[in-house]
């Protein structure tokens, strides 16, 4: 069983307890709990090897359609009582959200387990019921809206699905991009292990109705173990999570990818194939936004190559990073699921992450996956066994873009074949037009405005800034000719008197 | 100073009009002249002297300015100022220009002295040349705009173009096409070898432009009665044409435009503009109920579409998409004038022909739409035409929901490897308020000349003033077909009929 690793540790000191009035809780009584105790337990566990899940776990035959109909019975739950009610549902186990995570309730420094039971759920098809004796845990959990505060319907706003991902959404909008805690690669023959998983969830009671929802999770895997603390607030504009992670390294880690974000991107205005779909655009995010320092902001529109590609951006300091759904015009999606309301995910380090690189991986067109784009921050250097890491950052699930010192934003990218003077359109010559909105109003004298252009492949043929009349937008245009079939990395920074007055723009481009 | 040769053109020889005789209108005089001229071969065709044109480039030509100088219309404040275009090889058909005051016409002959030159080294046209490469009506400088801009042009490509004040030129009209061959693919366009602009004597009267047609096929007169307001320029056109030959095919009011791509068929990385066109659809009003909207295409191979019409009320080329963000071009394609032809006297039995050829940078006027008359015309026969041309940013009123966008996707293959791949169409309509709450008695009527529709449905978008019709269509092994969709309630049309040409 997955819990065996803990049985030796001091966790046995507070063998699972219960609040006697709730049948759901373990009847052995409640025990003391604190963040520090959980961290200390992880420190000890890190000295022992990880024991993975047994493959013999019960297969759960419930179909997604049936699973969505299963209701968690909150009436039994400790958070369903008292003045500062929370509305939390634990997910019935499902093979498509593999997880055996256990759930605990923390109330004023004591903890008790909510032991899995079919009786906690309504609507489980009889032939798919899991035997309670196998202690299967839960496939994550969901925080629901509070109907007393004028919400129209009971729906979730924060979800931990399966054992890896979590995501939040804004108001009645849809979910979109999501986070996973970590990705690692090891030096040993297990070149790439399954990312460490959430194995335990500790839900904490709230002091006041305005208190954040606090959740501790234990993360565990071959490479490391540790504790995450999420303190989450929700308001009309979105969800903000304060995240603290303490990680203990078990095995020598070659690469450690922090805060991986994942999204789904099929096509946008820049790379829509003819007859690809009846929707003008299909994506949950359309760009990576990077803030290094001060006026160094970069926008990298997502685009899907033929073959999987990883773009790397080295940074000395990271002030912010995210996957942004910048295009908020419903006409650009025309989709009942309202992707124009999908949240941006913006990571803001509170403690510096140190020097490292941003890695953006875009899966090729041939890969049949919809969760096809991910980004992560990879600190430089190897992480040695026995070491520990402390991370502290915020995750903003919001519709707005982070404020960028008033810099103009790139709102669309257009690519066209370039007509040469002889009227030919060679396949290696292109015009890029970046549409910007903001700050730079139309001016008569543009002599102090210029585009700083960097090309990894090819020659710059021309560049210009265009202020169309009757428009709040302006265009940065770059003409170039590729020198080879290599992928070209492009960077354009609009500058006025040597200082950026707009976001920089980056792109990876290959002639078809 | 310029010397303007007064030349009495309508009288025979040097005859002066008899002051005691009742003066007939220029149009009547031209008809009377044509009824004689039909007995003789075509007169000196202006196109034949195009060889004399100086070899100048469009850029140089655009900088040759028609001088502001004493001109006969200068004393006529109710007329629009007129500008004459310098002869150019790329506008080869030449038109002689006459000013008509109380039905007496005076020619303004070509002279290099009428023009100001940006550069003295440019080789000029010989003084013996006859006529101009274009005639433009201008907005008087005193109006809102500081610059003098034109609002109507008759150009040496035999085109007629109009626009309202805040619009830009786009689609164009021509007078007539004819061919001796029956079922001809292409017809010879009739040009106006002489233009007579009449003095306006009463405020509020339309401006009258008369044209003289004289070619191997026919001779005759055309009268344009032109009025304009802020939203529309309207030309009432009357033509009386005498056939010099048997005519197998005749096209009334051919229209032309430019279409590269729109939201339906934009190629990846082809162009930095989201859409590129002067018109995005052909509209046909057939009777009161049937209104066909056919989005335009720039095909990879030329396509000729024939659209049967039973009771023609009008046809035109529309720039229906008026959203600047769909073009992002400094020339403001969102303001292009649409053109709409409305017969006053019925055009008789016929059909709409729509020809689409691949858009190329060099020849961007790749769309042609005509009314092809079903009958032939005999030598000596007289053809009368009476219709209106509207140049507007709007379109004829309708209660029907209008097709405002066409989105096309391909589905996955249904059968084995070589089976055709179905299309999915999603057609966006406005006027969702026309839909009843209960959609049970609504039907999407489909029609396909080949292949078949697999399914169709109506999608309401609660948050929008639009609705969608979505339909999957399976082509047969030959992937060329005309398809149609109409939303109906019982037998009553709720929407326009969306029509499309499928071709690989």
Both tokens assigned to A315: 């940074």
A415 with B272: Cβ contact below 8 A: yes
Cβ neighbors of A156 (< 8 A, separation 6 or more) are A89, A142, A143, A144, A145
Q: What is the mean pLDDT of residues A461-468?
A: 91
Number of domains composing chain B: 1
pLDDT of B181 above 70? yes
User: When comparing pLDDT for A485 and B246, which is higher?
Assistant: B246
The two counts, helices (H) then strands (E), for chain B are 2, 33
A414 with B464: Cβ contact below 8 A: no
**For an interface test with B, which of A174, A267, A275, A337 has the most B Cβ atoms less than 10 Å from its Cβ?**
A275
Both tokens assigned to B190: 């009739």
Cβ neighbors of B504 (< 8 A, separation 6 or more) are B479, B480
* Separation CA A132–CA A115 (nearest Å): 9
Q: What is the mean pLDDT of residues B476-482?
A: 88
| pLDDT bucket at A11, cuts 50 / 70 / 90 | very low
Q: What is the mean pLDDT of residues A142-158?
A: 81
The percentage of residues in chain A with a pLDDT greater than 90, rounded to a whole number, is 55
**For an interface test with A, which of B322, B328, B405 has the most A Cβ atoms less than 10 Å from its Cβ?**
B328
- Measure CB to CB from residue A275 to each of B273, B324, B409 and give the nearest one: B409
Q: What is the mean pLDDT of residues A22-47?
A: 78
Q: Are B132 and B197 in contact (CB under 8 A)?
A: no
Q: Are B95 and B191 in contact (CB under 8 A)?
A: yes
Within-domain flag for B498: yes
Greatest alpha-carbon pair distance for chain A in Å reads: 86
Residue among B250, B288, B239 nearest B386 (CA) = B239
Q: What is the mean pLDDT of chain B?
A: 89
Please list the alpha-helical segments (H only) found in B286-410.
Answer: none
User: When comparing pLDDT for A423 and B98, which is higher?
Assistant: B98
Both tokens assigned to A369: 């996956």
Q: At B470, which CATH number?
A: 2.60.40.10
| pLDDT bucket at B6, cuts 50 / 70 / 90 | very low
Q: What is the mean pLDDT of residues A367-378?
A: 90
Quote the domain boundaries for residue B462: 403-503
Q: What is the mean pLDDT of residues A293-302?
A: 94
Q: Are B274 and B328 in contact (CB under 8 A)?
A: yes
pLDDT of B430 above 50? yes
H or E stretch covering B37: helix B26-37
B428 with A278: Cβ contact below 8 A: no
Chain A residues with beta carbon closer than 8 angstroms to that of B334: none
Every domain of chain A with CATH number 2.60.40.10 lies at 409-509
| pLDDT bucket at A14, cuts 50 / 70 / 90 | very low
**For an interface test with A, which of B268, B329, B364, B427 has the most A Cβ atoms less than 10 Å from its Cβ?**
B268
Q: What is the pLDDT of residues A194-238, one digit of tens each?
A: 678 999 999 999 988 889 999 999 999 989 999 999 999 999 999
DSSP conformational letter for B455: E
- Measure CB to CB from residue A274 to each of B267, B271, B361 and give the nearest one: B267
A468 with B428: Cβ contact below 8 A: no
**For an interface test with A, which of B270, B272, B411, B498 has the most A Cβ atoms less than 10 Å from its Cβ?**
B272
DSSP conformational letter for A343: P
A276 with B332: Cβ contact below 8 A: no
What pLDDT score was predicted for residue A15?
34
Residue A298 dihedral angles phi and psi, to the nearest 5°:
-130, 140
* Separation CA B318–CA B392 (nearest Å): 9
Q: Please calculate the CA angle A165-A171-A175 and round it to the nearest 5 degrees.
A: 30
Every domain of chain A with CATH number 2.70.98.10 lies at 4-398
Q: Which residue has the tokens 């700050």?
A: A439
Burial class (CB in 10 A: 0-12, 13-18, 19+), A352: exposed
Q: Are B477 and B502 in contact (CB under 8 A)?
A: no
| Integer angstrom CA distances of residue B23 from B20, B44, B79, B97 | 9, 27, 21, 21
What pLDDT score was predicted for residue A55?
44
What pLDDT score was predicted for residue A27?
44
What pLDDT score was predicted for residue A84?
72
Q: Please list the residues that pair with B470 across neighbouring strands.
A: B426, B457
Cβ neighbors of A348 (< 8 A, separation 6 or more) are A319, A320, A393, A394, A395, A396, A402
B362 with A276: Cβ contact below 8 A: no
Provide Rg for chain B, Cα atoms: 25
A423 with B324: Cβ contact below 8 A: no
Residue ranges with strand state E in A108-139: 110-114, 121-122
DSSP conformational letter for A210: T
What pLDDT score was predicted for residue A7?
31
Chain B residues with beta carbon closer than 8 angstroms to that of A334: 407, 426, 428, 461, 468
pLDDT of A332 above 70? yes
Q: Are B502 and B423 in contact (CB under 8 A)?
A: yes
What pLDDT score was predicted for residue A28?
52
Both tokens assigned to B167: 């619009």
Within-domain flag for B217: no
Q: Are B445 and B488 in contact (CB under 8 A)?
A: yes
Residue ranges with strand state E in A380-484: 388-398, 409-417, 429-437, 449-455, 459-466, 473-481
What pLDDT score was predicted for residue A426?
83
Chain A residues with beta carbon closer than 8 angstroms to that of B268: 271-274, 512
What pLDDT score was predicted for residue A50?
87
Parallel, antiparallel, or unpaired: how do β-strands A373-379 and A253-263 relate? antiparallel
| pLDDT bucket at A276, cuts 50 / 70 / 90 | confident
| pLDDT bucket at A291, cuts 50 / 70 / 90 | very high
What pLDDT score was predicted for residue A255?
87
Q: Which long-range contacts (CB under 8 A, 24 or more apart) does A79-84 make?
A: A79/A105, A79/A203, A79/A205, A82/A205, A83/A209, A84/A205, A84/A206, A84/A207, A84/A208, A84/A209, A84/A211
Within-domain flag for B206: no
Chain A: give the shortest CA distance to residue B394, in Å.
21
A276 with B409: Cβ contact below 8 A: yes
What pLDDT score was predicted for residue B145?
53
Identify the closest residue of chain A to B422 by CA–CA distance. Answer: A275
Chain A residues with beta carbon closer than 8 angstroms to that of B426: 278, 334
Q: What is the pLDDT of residues A69-116, one digit of tens each?
A: 999 988 778 888 776 788 899 999 887 887 778 999 999 899 999 988
Q: What is the mean pLDDT of residues A298-319?
A: 94
Least confident of A305-309, A418-422, A472-476, B249-253: A418-422
A278 with B408: Cβ contact below 8 A: yes
Chain B residues with beta carbon closer than 8 angstroms to that of A330: 463-464
- Measure CB to CB from residue A417 to each of B270, B428, B464 and give the nearest one: B270
Burial class (CB in 10 A: 0-12, 13-18, 19+), B280: buried
Parallel, antiparallel, or unpaired: how do β-strands B312-318 and B338-343 relate? antiparallel
B270 with A416: Cβ contact below 8 A: yes
H or E stretch covering A486: none
| Integer angstrom CA distances of residue B36 from B7, B26, B243 | 21, 16, 12
Q: What is the pLDDT of residues A344-371, one digit of tens each?
A: 999 999 999 999 999 999 998 877 788 9
Both tokens assigned to A329: 């015009």
Global confidence as pTM:
0.88
| pLDDT bucket at A470, cuts 50 / 70 / 90 | confident
Least confident of A298-312, B8-22, B101-115, B365-379: B8-22
What pLDDT score was predicted for residue A271?
86
Identify the closest residue of chain B to A466 by CA–CA distance. Answer: B330
Residue A181 dihedral angles phi and psi, to the nearest 5°:
-70, -45
Interface residues from chain A to B (CB-CB < 8 Å) = 269, 271-280, 330, 334, 336, 414-417, 419, 423, 430-433, 435, 466, 468-471, 473, 475, 477, 512
| pLDDT bucket at B146, cuts 50 / 70 / 90 | low
Chain B residues with beta carbon closer than 8 angstroms to that of A470: 324, 332
Chain A: give the shortest CA distance to residue B312, in Å.
33
* Separation CA B14–CA A212 (nearest Å): 101
- Measure CB to CB from residue A423 to each of B273, B361, B423 and give the nearest one: B361
B332 with A471: Cβ contact below 8 A: no
A468 with B330: Cβ contact below 8 A: yes
Within-domain flag for B486: yes
CATH of domain A409-509: 2.60.40.10
Q: Please list the residues that pair with B236 across neighbouring strands.
A: B225, B388
B269 with A415: Cβ contact below 8 A: yes
Q: Which residue has the tokens 């709102």?
A: A411
Chain B residues with beta carbon closer than 8 angstroms to that of A423: 361-362
In this structure, the dihedral spanned by the alpha carbons of residues A482, A484, A489 and A493, taken in order and rounded to 10 degrees, is -30
Both tokens assigned to B290: 């049937």
Chain A: give the shortest CA distance to residue B217, in Å.
38
Provide Rg for chain A, Cα atoms: 25
- Measure CB to CB from residue A278 to each of B324, B362, B470 and give the nearest one: B470
* Separation CA A112–CA B279 (nearest Å): 70
Cβ neighbors of A130 (< 8 A, separation 6 or more) are A58, A60, A93, A116, A118, A136
DSSP conformational letter for B26: H
What pLDDT score was predicted for residue A443?
63
Residue among A429, A409, A396, A414 nearest A505 (CA) = A409
Q: What is the mean pLDDT of residues A129-133?
A: 71
Residue A176 dihedral angles phi and psi, to the nearest 5°:
-145, -115
Within-domain flag for B114: no
Within-domain flag for B73: no
Q: What is the pLDDT of residues B115-143, one digit of tens each?
A: 998 877 778 888 888 899 999 999 876 65
Chain B residues with beta carbon closer than 8 angstroms to that of A473: 328
Domain A4-398 = CATH 2.70.98.10: yes
Identify the closest residue of chain A to B460 by CA–CA distance. Answer: A336
Chain B: give the shortest CA distance to residue A176, in Å.
20
Interface residues from chain B to A (CB-CB < 8 Å) = 263, 265-274, 324, 328, 330, 332, 361-362, 407-410, 423-426, 428, 459, 461, 463-464, 468, 470
Q: What is the pLDDT of residues A418-449, one digit of tens each?
A: 887 777 788 889 999 999 998 755 566 677 88
DSSP conformational letter for A404: -
**For an interface test with B, which of A278, A416, A463 has the most B Cβ atoms less than 10 Å from its Cβ?**
A278
A274 with B265: Cβ contact below 8 A: yes
A433 with B461: Cβ contact below 8 A: no
Q: Are A394 and A242 in contact (CB under 8 A)?
A: yes
- Measure CB to CB from residue A278 to each of B270, B273, B409 and give the nearest one: B409
Q: What is the pLDDT of residues B15-55, one digit of tens each?
A: 444 445 557 899 999 999 999 999 998 876 544 445 556 77
B461 with A512: Cβ contact below 8 A: no
Both tokens assigned to B390: 């509207």
Q: Are A40 and A33 in contact (CB under 8 A)?
A: no
Q: What is the mean pLDDT of residues A292-306?
A: 93
Within-domain flag for B438: yes
* Separation CA B303–CA B290 (nearest Å): 24
Interface contacts A/B by beta carbons within 8 Å: 76
A471 with B324: Cβ contact below 8 A: yes
H or E stretch covering A313: strand A309-315
Report helix, strand and coil shares of chain A as percent, to nearest 5: 10, 45, 45
Within-domain flag for B408: yes
What pLDDT score was predicted for residue A54?
55
């Amino acid at each position: 069983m997955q819990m065996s690793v803990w049985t030796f540790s001091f966790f046995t000191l507070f063998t699972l307890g219960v609040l006697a009035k709730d049948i759901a809780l373990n009847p052995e009584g409640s025990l003391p709990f604190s963040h520090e105790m959980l961290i200390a337990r992880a420190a000890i566990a890190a000295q022992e090897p990880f024991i993975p899940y047994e493959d013999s776990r019960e297969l759960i035959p419930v179909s997604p359609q049936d699973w969505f109909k299963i209701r968690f019975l909150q009436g039994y739950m400790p958070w369903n009582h008292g003045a500062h009610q929370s509305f939390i549902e634990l997910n019935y186990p499902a093979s498509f959200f593999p997880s055996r995570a256990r759930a605990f309730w923390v109330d004023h420094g004591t903890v008790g387990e909510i032991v899995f039971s079919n009786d906690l759920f309504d609507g489980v098809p009889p032939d798919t019921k899991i035997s309670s004796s196998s202690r299967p845990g839960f496939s994550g959990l969901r925080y629901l809206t509070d109907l007393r505060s004028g919400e129209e319907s009971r729906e979730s706003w924060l979800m931990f699905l399966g054992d890896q991902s979590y995501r939040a959404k804004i108001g009645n909008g849809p979910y979109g991009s999501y986070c996973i805690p970590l990705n690692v690669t090891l030096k040993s023959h297990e070149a790439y292990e399954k990312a460490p998983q959430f194995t335990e969830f500790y839900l904490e009671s709230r002091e006041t109705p305005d208190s954040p929802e606090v959740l501790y999770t234990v993360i565990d895997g071959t490479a490391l173990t540790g504790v995450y603390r999420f303190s989450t607030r929700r308001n009309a504009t979105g969800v903000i999570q304060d995240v603290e992670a303490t990680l203990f390294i078990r095995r020598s880690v070659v690469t450690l990818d922090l805060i991986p974000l994942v999204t789904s991107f099929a096509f946008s205005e820049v790379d829509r194939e003819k007859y690809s779909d009846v929707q003008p655009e299909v994506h949950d995010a359309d760009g990576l936004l990077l803030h290094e320092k001060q006026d160094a902001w970069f926008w990298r529109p997502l685009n899907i190559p033929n073959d999987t590609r990883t773009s790397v951006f080295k940074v000395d300091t990271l002030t912010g990073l995210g996957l942004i759904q910048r295009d908020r015009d419903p006409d650009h999606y025309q989709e009942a699921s309202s992707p124009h309301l999908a949240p941006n995910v913006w990571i803001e380090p509170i403690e510096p992450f140190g020097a490292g690189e941003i890695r953006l991986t875009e899966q090729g067109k041939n890969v049949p996956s919809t969760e096809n784009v991910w980004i992560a921050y990879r600190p430089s250097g190897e992480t040695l066994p026995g070491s520990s890491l402390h991370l502290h950052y915020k995750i903003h699930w919001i519709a707005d873009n982070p404020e960028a010192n008033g810099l103009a934003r790139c709102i669309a990218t257009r690519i066209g074949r370039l007509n040469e003077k002889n009227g030919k359109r060679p396949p290696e010559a292109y015009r890029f037009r970046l549409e910007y909105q903001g700050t730079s109003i139309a001016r008569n004298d543009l002599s102090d405005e210029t585009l700083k252009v960097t090309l990894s492949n090819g020659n710059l043929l021309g560049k210009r800034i265009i202020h169309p009349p009757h428009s709040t937008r302006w265009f940065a245009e770059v003409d170039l000719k590729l020198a080879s079939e290599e992928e070209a990395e492009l960077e354009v920074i609009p500058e006025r008197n040597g200082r950026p007055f707009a976001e920089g723009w980056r792109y990876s481009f290959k002639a078809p | 100073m310029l010397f303007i040769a007064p030349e009495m053109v309508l009288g025979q020889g040097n005859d002066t009009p008899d002051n005691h005789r009742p003066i007939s209108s220029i149009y009547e005089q031209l008809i009377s002249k044509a009824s004689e001229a039909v007995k003789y071969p075509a007169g000196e065709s202006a196109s034949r002297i195009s060889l004399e044109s100086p070899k100048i480039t469009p850029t140089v030509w655009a900088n040759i300015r028609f001088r502001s100088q004493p001109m006969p219309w200068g004393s006529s404040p109710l007329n629009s100022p007129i500008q004459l275009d310098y002869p150019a090889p790329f506008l080869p058909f030449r038109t002689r220009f006459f000013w008509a005051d109380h039905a007496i016409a005076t020619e303004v002959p070509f002279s290099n002295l009428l023009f100001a030159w940006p550069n003295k080294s440019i080789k000029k046209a010989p003084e013996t040349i006859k006529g101009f490469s274009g005639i433009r009506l201008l907005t008087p400088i005193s109006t809102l705009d500081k610059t003098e801009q034109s609002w109507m042009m008759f150009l040496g490509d035999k085109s007629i173009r109009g626009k309202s004040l805040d619009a830009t030129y786009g689609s164009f009209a021509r007078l007539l096409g004819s061919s001796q061959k029956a079922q001809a693919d292409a017809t010879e366009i009739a040009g106006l070898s002489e233009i007579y602009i009449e003095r306006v004597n009463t405020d509020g009267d339309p401006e009258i432009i008369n044209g003289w047609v004289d070619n191997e096929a026919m001779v005759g007169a055309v009268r344009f009665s032109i009025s304009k307001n802020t939203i529309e320029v309207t030309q009432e056109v009357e033509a009386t044409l005498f056939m010099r030959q048997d005519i197998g095919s005749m096209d009334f009011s051919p229209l032309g435009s430019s279409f590269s791509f729109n939201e339906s068929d934009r190629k990846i990385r082809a162009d930095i503009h989201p859409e590129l066109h002067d018109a995005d659809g052909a509209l046909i009003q057939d009777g009161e109920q049937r209104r066909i909207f056919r989005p335009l295409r720039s095909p990879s191979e030329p396509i000729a579409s024939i659209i049967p019409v039973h009771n023609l009320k009008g046809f035109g080329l529309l720039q229906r998409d008026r959203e600047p963000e769909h073009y992002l071009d400094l020339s403001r394609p969102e303001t292009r004038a649409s053109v709409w032809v409305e017969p006053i006297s019925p055009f008789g039995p016929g059909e709409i022909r729509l020809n689409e050829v691949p858009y190329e940078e060099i020849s961007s006027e790749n769309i042609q739409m005509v009314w092809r008359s079903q009958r032939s015309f005999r030598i000596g026969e007289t053809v009368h035409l009476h219709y209106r041309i509207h140049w507007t940013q709007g379109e004829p009123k309708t209660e029907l929901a209008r097709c405002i966008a066409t989105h096309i996707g391909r589905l996955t293959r249904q059968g084995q490897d070589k089976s055709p791949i179905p299309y999915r169409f999603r057609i966006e309509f406005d006027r969702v308020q026309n839909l009843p709450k209960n959609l049970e008695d609504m039907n999407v009527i489909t029609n396909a000349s080949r292949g078949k529709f697999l399914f169709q449905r109506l999608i309401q978008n609660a948050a929008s003033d639009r609705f969608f019709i979505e339909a999957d269509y399976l082509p047969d092994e030959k992937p060329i077909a005309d398809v149609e969709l109409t939303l109906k309630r019982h037998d009553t049309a709720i929407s326009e009929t969306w029509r499309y040409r499928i071709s690989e």
